[in-house]
Structures are given as C-alpha cells and as structure tokens.
Amino acid sequence: MHPGFLLSVLLCSAAVMGADLPASRYVRILVYGVDRVAQCAQPVKELQAELQTLAYPDGWTIGVVCTPVAWESLLKIADPPPTQAAFTNFIRHSTVVNAAIFRLRRSQYRHTLAHELAHVVCQCKDENTAEQMARSLERTPPSLPMRQTAKAALK
Ligand SMILES: [Zn+2]
C-alpha cells in the first residue's frame, strides 16, 4: 500500500479538533495518539499560542503527535528525514509535530515551529535556508499582524 494513503487514513481517523484558533482561523490542528483532545491539552495550547505569531498559511494542517508510540508509527508511515521534533509535507500542506517538544524550553519549541514554517514559506527543503529564515521568524514581535510578518520574512 502506498504510504501516503495510510497517512491520509490516519489524518482522517485522528481528526479530533476543529479550526478554532483565535489568530489563525484557517490552520487546522489534528491530534494523534490520544482518544480525546483533553489528553493532549497542554501541547495544543502551547501550539495555539505560538501560531498567533508564527503565521502558517490558510488551509495548513498541523498534526500534534501526543505519544511516543504514535510518533514512532507516524515516522514509519511518513518516512521523513530523521527527526524527533517535526517534519513538513508540502504536498499534503501539513506539518507534523512531536508533542514532546512542548516539554522543552519555549525558545526551543518555538524555534522548531519557526523552522518548519520557514520550509513552508520558502517552499524549500534546504536546511540552511530554513534555519536562517527561522531565526527571523521566531523573533517576530507578537504585536505585528501575522500576514505582514510572513511576507516581511520573505524579503
Ligand atoms: Zn528542516
């Protein structure tokens, strides 16, 4: 079976949480590995807070993988470059995040989210470009409107 098919099945069956983010209405958050969103509430809350200043595009999906077992099985299915933090799939317009990163310092998980956003914004897989862009994205002051900050980062 094609791995992409399995992933889409997982995405559907794990879809628990709707698009109700205050600053990022069209980014969808899905949780994996738990029966109820409440079991993954803290990572989802931290993610929502960062999404207010890290402007993923409308229609983007962010999957939060809430358990180590779910993370390992998703890695097997999606087969991204080696990571314990996050990976992005351009074709599926989605970024998958290991909920474990939210136990690290905020500066660390914010950097991970900014790094993945940089891949999305530059539409590139180059790690150096993504790292450079991430450093400017993660510094974005919370008061700036999100669409403008995403564009500013492109220049
Ligand atoms: Zn990267």
Ligand 1 geometric centre to CA of 117 (Å) = 9
At 119-130, the pLDDT tens digits run 999 999 999 999
Ligand 1 geometric centre to CA of 6 (Å) = 23
Task: Work out the number of other CB atoms within 10 angstroms of the CB of residue 133.
Answer: 22
Asked if 49 and 21 touch (Cβ cutoff 8 Å), the reply is no
This prediction has a pTM of 0.76
How confident is residue 143, by pLDDT bands cut at 50, 70 and 90?
A: low
At 84-129, the pLDDT tens digits run 999 999 999 999 999 999 999 999 999 999 999 999 999 999 999 9
Mean per-residue pLDDT of the chain: 82
The answer on pLDDT for 7 being more than 80 is no
Ligand 1 geometric centre to CA of 81 (Å) = 9
Asked if 88 and 122 touch (Cβ cutoff 8 Å), the reply is no
Ligand 1 geometric centre to CA of 76 (Å) = 18
Asked if 137 and 114 touch (Cβ cutoff 8 Å), the reply is yes
Ligand 1 geometric centre to CA of 8 (Å) = 22
User: Which residues lie at CB < 5 A from ion ligand 1?
Assistant: 127, 130
Going by C-alpha positions, the residue among 77, 79, 43, 75 that lies closest to residue 62 is 43
Task: Work out the number of other CB atoms within 10 angstroms of the CB of residue 99.
Answer: 25
Dist. CA 56–CA 95, nearest whole Å:
10
